[in-house]
Amino acid sequence: LTITGVQLFWLRMPLVAPFETSYGRVDRRECLLVRLEARHPEAGPVEGWGEVVADADPGYSYETTGTAWHVLSEFVLPALPGRTFETPGQWRAAFEWVRGHPMAKAGVEMALLDARSRARGVPLWQEYGGDPGRRRIPVGVSVGIQPTLDDLLATVERWLERGYRRIKIKIKPGYEVEPVRALRERFGDIPLMVDANAAYTLADAERLEALDGYGLMMIEQPLHEDDLLDHALLQRRLRTPVCLDESVRHVHAAREALVLGSGRIINIKQGRVGGPTDARMIHDLCRRHGIPVWCGGMLETGVGRAHNIALTTLPGFTLPGDTSGSNRYYHEDVIDPPVRVGPDGTIEVPQEPGLGFRVVPERVERYTVRHRSWRA
C-alpha cells in the first residue's frame, strides 16, 4: 500500500444534547478525520478513513483537537505521501519516534487499516483480527450528568426502551449514591455501572464504598489517571469491580494494573492507547489473564464508530461497550447509513470491505472548519 495523498479535516458537529461529565460539559464535538489515498499493486487506488478522538479541551486527557492537528500536520502527515506500508506494524515502527500523542497517531493507523481492508477486499473486522462468529455486537450507552434526578430517570428509560444492554451513568463527588439509588428503585436489577472520570481520591473512598451495595457491574476510573497504586488499595475495599479507562494509556500500564490488582476490568479505547495494534496488544494481555474488556467511546462520528465496531469483534470484548447508535449524539452523522442499534441492543457488524458505511463528502465538508492536504 503506497500512500499517494493525505487529507486532514477538523470537524465541528453539534450534539443532540449537551454531554456532562465530572470534568465539564460540551454541546458540540470537535474531532479530526484523516483520509488517506493509497495505491495497491493489484487493487489500484483506495481510500482509508480514521478518526482522531481527542476532545476540544484537555479535560479527559492532555491531547486536544489542536495538539493533534499540530503533531499530525507538523511531524506525521507530510512524511506519508510516497511511503509504502504493508502492515500496521511497519507504520508503527516508522512513527514510534513521536512520543505520546496516542489519539493523533491512532487516527492514522485506523485510516491505514480501512485502506488495507478495501485493498484486500476483506471486512474491516478481519483487519482487526476479530472473531468471524461475531455478526452482531451487544452495546450499552453512556449517560451524562443530568440537571435533576427526574431528567436522569427519563433519559435512562428512553435508552432502555431502545434496547441498550447496559446503562452507564457519569458520576462526580456528591452525585453518585442518590442517582444510583433512584435508578435501582425505578428500574430494579438492570445492568448498571458508573464512570467517575478520575474525580475521586482515596480520602473520599466512603462515597464509593456506599455504592458497593447496589450491585453495579463496575465503577469506572474512580481515581487519578496516574494512580494505579491507590486504585489497587481501593479495589481491595470494594466488592464491585473497578474498571480502568484513563489509567491505561499503553500496554505497560495494563501490565502494572494487572500485577497490582488496580482493577478487574479494562475499558479499551483505541485512541487513548495509540491505535488498533496497541488496543489489540492490551486485549491479548487481558485475555491471557482472564480480565474482561469492553470498547469505550469518545462521542465518535460514524468513522470512529465503524472502527470501534470492528475492534469489538475481538473475542475478549465480552462486556457491552459504549458504542451507541449515531443518533445518540448526532442528528446527522457523516456516514450513510448511520450506525443503528437494533431493538435487542445489538449492532450488526458490516461484512463488506472497508468501514461498511459510506463517508458522505458533502457532510464532511459541511462540518469542516479547517482542512489541509498533502500529496506525493
Site for ligand OSB, rule CB under 6 A: 60, 142, 195, 197, 245, 296-299, 322, 324
Residue pointed to by grid coordinates 456532562 = 20
Nearer to ligand OSB, 59 or 75 (CB): 59
The backbone torsions φ and ψ at residue 157, rounded to the nearest 5 degrees and listed phi first, read: -60, -40
Q: Of the listed pieces 97-105, 187-195, 344-352, 354-362, which binds Mg ion according to CB under 5 A?
A: 187-195
Distance CA 329, CA 29 (A): 9
> CB-based burial of residue 19 (10 Å sphere; 0-12 exposed, 13-18 middle, 19+ buried)?
buried
322 binds, among ligand OSB, Mg ion, none (CB under 5 to 8 A by kind): ligand OSB
Nearer to ligand OSB, 107 or 297 (CB): 297
- The reply on whether position 55 binds Mg ion by CB under 5 A is no
Task: Supply the residues annotated as catalytic.
Answer: 170, 269
**Residue 96 CB, nearest approach to ligand OSB (Å):** 26
Does the bond joining 337 to the residue before it have cis omega, within 30 degrees of 0? Answer: yes
Distance CA 185, CA 188 (A): 6
**Residue 195 CB, nearest approach to ligand OSB (Å):** 5
Nearer to ligand OSB, 7 or 301 (CB): 301
Element (H, E) at 32: strand 24-40
**What single-letter DSSP state applies at residue 261?**
T
Residue nearest to Mg ion (CB): 245
Distance CA 71, CA 168 (A): 33
Pairing state between β 192-195 and 219-220? parallel
Q: Of the listed pieces 110-118, 152-160, 177-185, 213-221, which binds Mg ion according to CB under 5 A?
A: 213-221
C-alpha triplet 160, 314, 165: angle, nearest 5°: 5
109 binds, among Mg ion, ligand OSB, none (CB under 5 to 8 A by kind): none
The residues in 228-257 that bind Mg ion, with binding defined as CB under 5 A, are: 245
Instruction: List the grid coordinates of 226.
Output: 496516574
Distance CA 351, CA 361 (A): 22
**Residue 53 CB, nearest approach to Mg ion (Å):** 12
- The reply on whether position 51 binds Mg ion by CB under 5 A is no
* Closest to 53 (Cα-Cα) out of 75, 74, 30: 30
Identify residue 160 by its one-letter amino acid code.
L
Distance CA 36, CA 42 (A): 18
Nearer to ligand OSB, 114 or 195 (CB): 195
Nearer to ligand OSB, 235 or 324 (CB): 324
298 binds, among ligand OSB, Mg ion, none (CB under 5 to 8 A by kind): ligand OSB
**Residue 222 CB, nearest approach to Mg ion (Å):** 11
- The reply on whether position 195 binds Mg ion by CB under 5 A is yes
The length of the chain in residues reads: 376
Nearer to ligand OSB, 103 or 286 (CB): 103
**Residue 331 CB, nearest approach to ligand OSB (Å):** 16
Percent of the chain that is helix, strand, coil (3-state, to 5): 35, 25, 35
Residue nearest to ligand OSB (CB): 297
142 binds, among Mg ion, ligand OSB, none (CB under 5 to 8 A by kind): ligand OSB
Distance CA 51, CA 89 (A): 19
Nearer to ligand OSB, 24 or 361 (CB): 24
60 binds, among ligand OSB, Mg ion, none (CB under 5 to 8 A by kind): ligand OSB
Site residues, Mg ion (CB under 5 A)? 195, 220, 245
